[in-house]
């Protein structure tokens, strides 16, 4: 697996662990992986259940208030690997923010859509350092991989605003897992390391006053291209938003790309 020089390094920290020596060793390993933004979950060749799963949106039941939600499109065949998009909301938001943007496209195009809630007001590395959110996302993806056949050649990190920054950062840190990144109006990128070669779709409004384009995407895209990444870049005449046509373009690009 080819590694690149880091674009931006993120600080790391360990999560507290308790329990037996064996449990502590596992917890320390998992906490260390989370602090380094490493996702360990992977699509399974023979996931369970083998029968069809009821379509629609459901919580995964991983947390009583800040959960993760999975949208399963109607007509999804359990024996046929489906694309998966893991979508990250903006600051102060919740999973529904990105689910509302992408759910109709997931239904029309037949891809699984996973929306986790951040552990805090926004994503861990933006507040401090990688850790709790990485661990929670890994657990949510592990659940999806255990229950659904996922196409490892079409697995995307997506997000808007802070969620777009997080999708870029986590996607570049886990290029061996994420094949694509869809970043709608990102502010920055802070990968813990850069691994493999995920393809990137970045969009930004030219009238964005929250994350002005000249300070963000117009700086990020040239840096990524100079580092050798394939970037599909779209500017649009609007502000801090995800226009429906931009969301459609991003999904069409994702589903149309081979690995």
DSSP strand E in 89-179: where? 112-116, 150-160
Q: Which of 46-60, 116-130, 159-173 has the lowest mean pLDDT?
A: 46-60
Q: How do residues 224-244 score in pLDDT, each as one tens digit?
A: 999 999 999 999 999 999 999
Q: Which two tokens stand for residue 201?
A: 């779709």
Q: What is the pTM of this model?
A: 0.86
The domain limits of the chain are: 53-256
Highest mean pLDDT: which of 38-47, 50-59, 163-172? Answer: 163-172
Element (H, E) at 106: helix 95-109
Q: Pseudo-torsion of CA 137, 140, 146, 147, nearest 10°?
A: -140
Distance separating the N- and C-terminal Cα atoms of the chain: 15
| Predicted confidence (pLDDT) per residue in 138-180, tens digit | 999 999 999 999 999 999 999 999 999 999 999 999 999 999 9
| Whole-angstrom distance, CA of residue 37 vs CA of residue 243 | 30
pLDDT at res. 26: 38
Distance CA 96, CA 89 (A): 8
How does DSSP classify residue 2?
Answer: -
- Using 50, 70 and 90 to split pLDDT, how confident is the model at 9? very low
* Torsion sign (Cα): 164, 95, 118, 122: positive
CA dist., res. 95 & res. 116, Å (int): 5
What pLDDT does 164 receive?
A: 98
Starting at the edge strand that comes first in sequence, how are the strands of the sheet with 112-116 ordered? 56-59, 68-72, 112-116, 82-88, 150-160, 180-184, 199-205, 231-236
Local structure of 107: helix, strand or coil? helix
Banded pLDDT at 31 (limits 50, 70, 90) = low
* pLDDT per position as a tens digit, 176-211: 999 999 999 999 999 998 988 999 999 999 999 999
Per CATH, the architecture of 53-256 is what?
Answer: 3-Layer(aba) Sandwich (3.40)
In angstroms, rounded to a whole number, what is the distance separating the alpha carbons of residues 73 and 85?
A: 12
pLDDT grade, residue 17 (50/70/90)?
Answer: very low
């Amino acid at each position: 697996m080819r590694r690149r020089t880091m674009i931006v390094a993120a600080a790391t920290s360990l999560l507290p662990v308790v329990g037996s020596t064996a449990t502590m060793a596992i917890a320390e390993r998992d906490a260390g992986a989370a602090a380094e933004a490493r996702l360990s979950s992977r699509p399974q060749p023979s996931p369970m259940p083998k029968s069809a799963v009821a379509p629609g949106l459901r919580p995964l039941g991983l947390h009583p208030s800040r959960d993760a939600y999975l949208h399963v499109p109607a007509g999804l065949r359990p024996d046929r690997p489906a694309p998966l998009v893991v979508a990250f909301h903006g600051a102060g938001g919740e999973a529904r923010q990105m689910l509302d943007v992408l759910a109709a496209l997931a239904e029309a195009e037949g891809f699984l859509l996973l929306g986790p809630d951040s552990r805090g007001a926004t994503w861990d590395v933006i507040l401090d350092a990688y850790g709790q959110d990485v661990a929670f996302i890994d657990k949510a993806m592990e659940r999806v991989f255990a229950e659904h056949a996922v196409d490892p050649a079409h697995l995307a990190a997506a997000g808007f605003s802070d969620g777009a920054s997080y999708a870029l950062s986590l996607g570049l840190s886990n290029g061996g897992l994420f094949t694509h990144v869809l970043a709608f109006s990102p502010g920055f990128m802070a990968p813990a390391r850069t691994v493999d070669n995920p393809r990137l779709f970045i969009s930004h409004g030219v009238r964005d006053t929250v994350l002005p384009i000249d300070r963000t995407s117009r700086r990020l895209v040239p840096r990524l291209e100079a580092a050798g990444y394939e970037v599909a870049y779209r500017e649009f005449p609007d502000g801090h938003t995800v226009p429906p046509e931009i969301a459609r373009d991003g999904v069409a690009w994702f589903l149309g790309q081979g690995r």
